[in-house]
Amino acid sequence: MKRDKKGKGAAQNGGLLAAVPQRSFGDRLLKDFKGNWSLYLMVLIPVTYLIIFCYIPMTGIQLAFKEYRVSDGIWGSPWVGLYNFKRFFKSYKFVMLLKNTILINVYSLVVGFPIPIIFALMLNYLRMKKFKKTIQMLSYAPYFISTVVMSGMIIIFLDPNTGVINKVLELLGFEAMNFMGEAKYFKSIYVWSSVWQGMGWASIIYIAALSGVDYQLHEAAIVDGASKLQRIFHVDLPSIKPTIIMLLILQIGSLMSVGFEKVFLLQNQLNMSSSDVLSTYVYRVGLVDNDYGYSTAVGLFNSLINMFLLISANMIAKRTTNESLW
Amino acid sequence: MEKNIEKRAANKAHKKLISADKTFDVANVVIMILLFFIFAWPLWFVVIASFSDPGEVWRGNVILFPKGFSIDSYTEILKYKEIWIGYRNTIFYTVVGTVINLFMTVCMAYPLSRKKFMPKNILMVLCMITMYFGGGLIPSYLVVKNLHMIDTVWAMMIPGCLSVYNMIIMRSYFVNSIPDSLEEAATLDGAGPVQYLVKVVLPLSKPVIAVIALYYMVGHWNDFFSALIYVNDKNLLPLQTFLRNLLVTNTVGNVSQTQNLNPELLQKKIYLAQTIKYSAIIVSTLPVLCIYPFVQKYFVKGVMIGAIKG
Contacts of A155 in chain B (CB under 8 A): 247-248
Query: Which residue on chain B is closest to A300 by alpha carbon?
Result: B136
Contacts of B216 in chain A (CB under 8 A): none
| Cβ within 8 Å of residue A176, ≥6 positions away | A160, A161, A166, A169, A170
Query: Which residue on chain B is closest to A323 by alpha carbon?
Result: B310
Cβ atoms of residues B196 and B134 within 8 Å = no
pLDDT at position A2 over 50: no
- Per-residue pLDDT at B259: 59
A-proximal residues of B, 237-296, CB under 8 Å: 240, 243-244, 246-248, 274, 277-278, 281, 284-285, 288, 292-293, 296
- Per-residue pLDDT at B231: 95
Q: Between chain A and chain B, how many beta carbons pairs sit less than 8 Å apart?
A: 257
Q: Given pLDDT bands bounded at 50, 70 and 90, which one contains residue B210?
A: confident
Contacts of A47 in chain B (CB under 8 A): 108, 123, 126
pLDDT at position A193 over 80: yes
Q: Given pLDDT bands bounded at 50, 70 and 90, which one contains residue B162?
A: very high
Determine the residue type at B24.
Answer: F
Query: Which residue on chain A is closest to B249 by alpha carbon?
Result: A265
| Mean pLDDT in residue range B90-108 | 97
- Per-residue pLDDT at B3: 64
Sign for the pseudo-dihedral over CA of B253, B257, B261, B265: positive
pLDDT at position A181 over 60: yes
pLDDT at position B308 over 60: no
- Per-residue pLDDT at A149: 95
Contacts of B114 in chain A (CB under 8 A): 36, 39
More confident residue, A44 or A36: A44
pLDDT at position B310 over 50: no
- Of residues B20, B28, B121, nearest to A125 (C-beta): B28
- Distance from C-alpha of A277 to C-alpha of A99, rounded to nearest angstrom: 8
DSSP labels for B201-228? IHHHTHHHHHHHHHHHHHHHHH--HHHH
* Weakest mean pLDDT among B38-52, B205-219, B243-257: B243-257
pLDDT at position B166 over 50: yes
The CB-side HSE value for A102 (13 A sphere, CA atoms) comes to 8
pLDDT at position B211 over 70: yes
pLDDT at position B177 over 50: yes
- Distance from C-alpha of A177 to C-alpha of A248, rounded to nearest angstrom: 35
Residue B237 DSSP one-character state? -
Angle at A63 between CA A60 and CA A65, to 5 degrees: 135
Cβ atoms of residues B48 and B66 within 8 Å = yes
Q: Given pLDDT bands bounded at 50, 70 and 90, which one contains residue B139?
A: very high
Counting residues of chain A whose pLDDT is more than 90, the rounded percentage is 53
B-proximal residues of A, 299-318, CB under 8 Å: 299-300, 303, 307, 310
Query: Which residue on chain A is closest to B35 by alpha carbon?
Result: A135
Task: Report residue A218 CA to chain centroid gap.
Answer: 34
Q: Given pLDDT bands bounded at 50, 70 and 90, which one contains residue A310?
A: confident
Query: Which residue on chain B is closest to A231 by alpha carbon?
Result: B21
- Of residues B38, B134, B224, nearest to A196 (C-beta): B38
- Distance from C-alpha of A65 to C-alpha of B102, rounded to nearest angstrom: 38
- Of residues A28, A146, A300, nearest to B240 (C-beta): A146
- Per-residue pLDDT at A8: 45
Contacts of B109 in chain A (CB under 8 A): none
Q: Given pLDDT bands bounded at 50, 70 and 90, which one contains residue B47?
A: very high
- Of residues B46, B110, B222, nearest to A42 (C-beta): B110
Determine the residue type at B226.
Answer: S
pLDDT at position B76 over 50: yes
Q: What are phi and psi of A149, to 5 degrees?
A: -65, -40
| Mean pLDDT in residue range A185-213 | 92
- Per-residue pLDDT at A307: 85
Buried b (16+ CB within 10 A) or exposed e, B60-79: bebeeebbeebebbbebbee
- Per-residue pLDDT at B52: 92
Q: Which of A62-71, A100-109, A127-136, B35-44 has the highest mean pLDDT?
A: B35-44
Q: What is the SS3 assignment for A195?
A: helix
Cβ atoms of residues B28 and A122 within 8 Å = yes
- Of residues B58, B111, B158, nearest to A43 (C-beta): B111
pLDDT at position A26 over 60: yes
Residue B170 CB: number of other CB atoms within 10 A? 24
- Per-residue pLDDT at A63: 93
Residue B249 DSSP one-character state? S
pLDDT at position A3 over 80: no
Name A79's bridge partners: A66
| Mean pLDDT in residue range A4-29 | 57
- Per-residue pLDDT at A7: 43
Cβ atoms of residues B153 and A48 within 8 Å = no
Give the closest residue to A150 by CA, choosing from B281, B266, B35: B281
Please write the tens of the pLDDT for every residue from B253-289. 666 655 566 788 888 888 888 899 999 999 998 888 7
- Per-residue pLDDT at B20: 83
| Mean pLDDT in residue range B72-92 | 93
- Per-residue pLDDT at A6: 43
Q: What is the mean pLDDT of chain A?
A: 87
A-proximal residues of B, 177-216, CB under 8 Å: 192-194
- Per-residue pLDDT at A11: 45
Cβ atoms of residues A109 and A115 within 8 Å = no
More confident residue, B7 or B42: B42
More confident residue, A82 or A322: A82
| Cβ within 8 Å of residue A119, ≥6 positions away | A139, A199, A200, A203, B35
- Distance from C-alpha of B119 to C-alpha of B167, rounded to nearest angstrom: 17
Cβ atoms of residues B274 and A182 within 8 Å = no
Q: What is the mean pLDDT of chain B?
A: 87
Q: Does B139 touch chain A (CB under 8 A)?
A: yes
| Mean pLDDT in residue range A215-241 | 90
- Of residues A131, A137, A145, nearest to B296 (C-beta): A137
